[in-house]
Amino acid sequence: MEERRKERLDRGIKIRTDKIYALMSWRELSYLTMPRLVLIVGILMLPFVVPGMYWQRVISIVCVYALLALIFDFLAHFVGLVSLGGAFFIGVGGYLAAILNTSAGLPPIVTIPLAALIGAAICTVLLLPCLPLRGVYFAIVTLMYPLVAARIIEALDILGGTDGIMGVESFSSTWTEQYFIILMTLLFLFGIRRLVNMDIGLVFRAVKDNDQAVRASGINITLYKAIAVFIASGVGCLSGACLVHIYMWSGISLFSLDFSILPIAATVIGGAGTLVGPVLGCFILVPISELLRAFGTLRIVFYSLILVAFIVFRSEGIMVYGQRKYHQFERWVKI
């Protein structure tokens, strides 16, 4: 039998557009900007396209998950901290927003940024002792944080106990709600993409690849990890605060495992390490899980199985696959 292998070559236009020549023709300009424009316009158009109030609400929820998936990808694949505790960020941000809104009477436009900043500080301080941990140890310890927070609130009966905090103010209309959180998603998506390509992003990636080398260069690893966690938990707390204002309620279900698992599934499906992939993964997974809501807990079975299938058999994800097809020729050649 004749043996063949698949050869991959970069497209000419990709090589040209890597350089300054990108500005030479409309074709090359559009090659560079089209994918981004399609994404931005597509997401901005979504509230007009979907039918009915229910699905508009789903868009907001999708964006909450998208932010979480984004920071999971950022922490795991650019800083090397695999954080299974997305729910902790959501919970801290959500409770802070609820308290600021119900006790201090601040409007959502003030509580959300405040909750994000204070929440980021709280999460960073709480996670600080775990930052030297590596790999599986950090993953386990972060998985435990939301669980312990929920149990402590339950046991001490503080912050409304199992009933949660009711009567949180909602956004002024569904349109402000959707566009606020959609713009936040786009802002942080492109912001973090920019961040990882700046100098500080270089240090982050070096910490992930070889922390001893970074240390030998006289750079404080824990400081950089703390900065990364501060950024990530700020985004996470922001999405948690938005979620509380969407639901007008804050309770211990904010710490539930859903918020830790679904973003990870989205990252695996969308393509790890691309930052766009996780967001797209959320836009695929969350609506599917909404469609399957009629099946009750069977939908969790579905997406667990999808997750297993992807992580075991197709671990590159949709986005990496898509980028390859976009940038490269593939052809079979004889060996």
Partner 1 sequence: MGILIYGTINSVALALMALGFALVYGISRLPNFGHGALYVVTGFITWSFFRGLGVNYLISIPISIIIIGIIGALIYQFILIRVRGMATSEIIASYAIGVAILEGLRWGGFKGMTYTLPVFLEGSIDIGGIPVDFHRMIVVGAGAGVVIFLWFFTHHTRIGLALRGMAQDERASLMLGIDSDFMAVVAMGFGSALAGLAAVLLLPLGNIVVESGYNVLILAIAVCIVGGLGSWMGAVIAAFLIGFAQILTVVYLGSHFQMVVALLAIILTLILRPSGLFGRQKELEERV
Mark residues 79-98: x for contact with partner 1 by CB under 8 A, - for none. ---x-x--------------
By CB under 8 A, residue 298 contacts partner 1: yes
- The minimum distance between CB 143 and partner 1, in angstroms, equals 8
C-alpha torsion angle, residues 287, 304, 239, 163 (rounded to 10): 100
Q: Which neighbouring-strand residues pair with 332?
A: 6
By CB under 8 A, residue 211 contacts partner 1: yes
Can you tell me which of 199, 296, 331, 333 binds partner 1, judged by CB under 8 A? 296
* Minimum CB distance to partner 1 smaller for 173 or for 297: 297
By CB under 8 A, residue 159 contacts partner 1: no
Tokens 């950024």 found at: 231
Closest CA to 39 of 326, 329, 335: 326
* Minimum CB distance to partner 1 smaller for 82 or for 243: 82
Half-sphere exposure of 318 (CA within 13 A, CB side): 17
Tokens of 202: 């270089």
Tally of residues, the chain: 335
Mark residues 261-290: x for contact with partner 1 by CB under 8 A, - for none. x--xx--x----------------------
- The minimum distance between CB 308 and partner 1, in angstroms, equals 5
- The minimum distance between CB 314 and partner 1, in angstroms, equals 11
Q: Residues 167, 102: contact at Cβ < 8 Å? A: yes
By CB under 8 A, residue 213 contacts partner 1: no
Can you tell me which of 32, 39, 139, 186 binds partner 1, judged by CB under 8 A? 139
Tokens of 227: 């900065």
What whole-number distance in Å separates Cα of residue 205 and Cα of residue 199?
10
Q: Please list, in sequence order, all residues whose beta carbon lies within 8 angstroms of the beta carbon of residue 76, skipping any fewer than 6 positions away.
A: 82, 83, 267, 272
Mark residues 15-44: x for contact with partner 1 by CB under 8 A, - for none. ------------------------------
What whole-number distance in Å separates Cα of residue 227 and Cα of residue 234?
11
* Minimum CB distance to partner 1 smaller for 43 or for 252: 252
Compute how many other C-beta atoms are within 10 angstroms of the C-beta atom of residue 271.
25
* Minimum CB distance to partner 1 smaller for 110 or for 311: 311
By CB under 8 A, residue 73 contacts partner 1: no
Closest CA to 244 of 70, 69, 106, 47: 106
Stretch that binds partner 1, among 55-63, 129-137, 174-182, 281-289 (CB under 8 A): 129-137
Can you tell me which of 4, 27, 194, 215 binds partner 1, judged by CB under 8 A? 215
Q: Per-residue DSSP letters for 216-285?
A: HTT--HHHHHHHHHHHHHHHHHHHHHHHHHHHT-B-GGGGSTHHHHHHHHHHHHH-TTSSHHHHHHHHHH
Stretch that binds partner 1, among 126-134, 164-172, 276-284, 325-333 (CB under 8 A): 126-134
- The one-letter amino acid at 4: R
What whole-number distance in Å separates Cα of residue 310 and Cα of residue 326?
21
- The minimum distance between CB 136 and partner 1, in angstroms, equals 4
- The one-letter amino acid at 39: L
* Minimum CB distance to partner 1 smaller for 242 or for 252: 252
Can you tell me which of 307, 317, 318, 319 binds partner 1, judged by CB under 8 A? 307
* Minimum CB distance to partner 1 smaller for 52 or for 129: 129
Positions in the binding site for partner 1 (CB under 8 A)? 76, 82, 84, 129-130, 132-137, 139-141, 144-145, 147-148, 151-152, 154-155, 211-212, 215, 221-222, 261, 264-265, 268, 295-298, 300-301, 304-305, 307-308, 311-313, 315
